[in-house]
Chain A
C-alpha cells in the first residue's frame, strides 16, 4: 500500500460518481443506475488500510450526496459500515479469488443502498419506494457483483504499471560461491 494507491482509489470514486450522474445507459436498459462505490470500497478494504477506507467512505459519500437529492452525509456511514468490518477481518478472506470478490461485491452493493434507505426513512425523508425498488435493488446488486472483479483487475494493473515493484532476491550469493579449480 502506498499513497498512490489511495489517490487512485479516490480518483476512481470521483469519476465513478460523475459517471453515475452523467451516463444513463444502465437506467435506460435496466431501470436502475448501478452504484460502483460499494465495489470500490471492497477493493479498498481488502488492499489498503483504515485511513483509505475512511477517506473513501467520507469523500465518496459526500460526492455522491452532493449530486443527489440525498441529505448530505447520508451515504457515508453505509459505505463505512461495509468497508470497516471487511478491513478488520481481511486476513480471513481469500481476496485473490474472483468468486470471493463477486460475493463481497454483491453483498456490499446490496447492503449500502438498503442502509441508505433505512437512514433516509429514519431521518423522516420519503424516498421513492415501491415494488419496482426490489428490481432496482437486484440490478444494483448484480451490477456491483460484476464490477468488483473488474475493479480488482484494473487496480492490480495500475499498481503493476505505476507502482514500485519489490526487488526479488535470488538465492545466489557471491560470497558463498564455491570456486572450483586453482587460481
Chain B
C-alpha cells in the first residue's frame, strides 16, 4: 500500500475532526477524497503528512510508519496545497528551483527536473515572472510545479482547483491524469464531485471526520436506490399537480421547486415515457427535459441526508 490509515482520531478540544478514519491507497491509483468543507479532508491529509499531531491511530506510507523525520519517505511525496505556497520574492523558475532543491542537491539534475516541471505545467513563457504578475490559473500551475518538480511517487493534491477558471481547471486535471499515467499515485481531495468523478479511480466520501462510503464511482452509485434522475421544466401548473407522479411504478421520489420538477427512479427503471404521459394527461406544460444517471452528490445526499454542494 502507498498509504494506509487505521483508526485515525484527531480532536480539537471537544470537536472530533477525524473519527476513527480508515483508508488505504494502492499504487497507481487516483484516490479521491470527497466531502464538504469541514468534513476533515485537509486534516486527514495533514495527519498523513505528519504535520499535525493526532490523538490515536496508525499511518503508514510506502509500508513504513510516517513520522516527521521519515526523510526517505518524504523524498517520494509531493504536496500541492489548497493555498498557493510560493515565495512572492522569487520568480517562477526560482520558486520551483528552491523547493526542488530541498529534495535534489545535484544542480544539473535539478535544472533538468525544474525545466521538465515548467514544461509540464506550461509555464515556459513565464519563467522570469514574479508570482504577483501571474493570473490565478497560472499561479495554481506554479503551485503544482513546486510540488511535483522532484518527481515524487506519491502526489497529494488538496483542493488544487479552488477559485480556478474552467480552462486552467481542465489543464490541471489533465496534468494529474498524465502524472498518473506516468506511474504516480495520486490522492486528490475536493468538494467538486465532477472533478473527482472525472479523474479518480477510487473515491472515499467523507463527512464529519468519517469515511461514509468508498469504492469506484460505479460502486458508489450502486449503493443508492436512485438509478436515474429526470429533470423537467414545467409551465402553467402548481407543484401540487405533480404529486401523482410518485404513484408511477419505479419512482422513488418527486421534488418540485418553482418550475423545476425532479423525478428519481429506481435503478434499472426508465420512467421518462410515463412521466411525460402524466404531464400530458394533467395538462401540465413542459419544456426542457433532462435524463441523467445519479451523481456523487446524489450518493452523498442519500447517505448523509444533505447536499454536498450546499456545504461547499
Whether A associates with B in a native complex is no
Q: Give me the interface of A with B, judged by CB distance under 8 Å.
A: none
Q: Give me the interface of B with A, judged by CB distance under 8 Å.
A: none
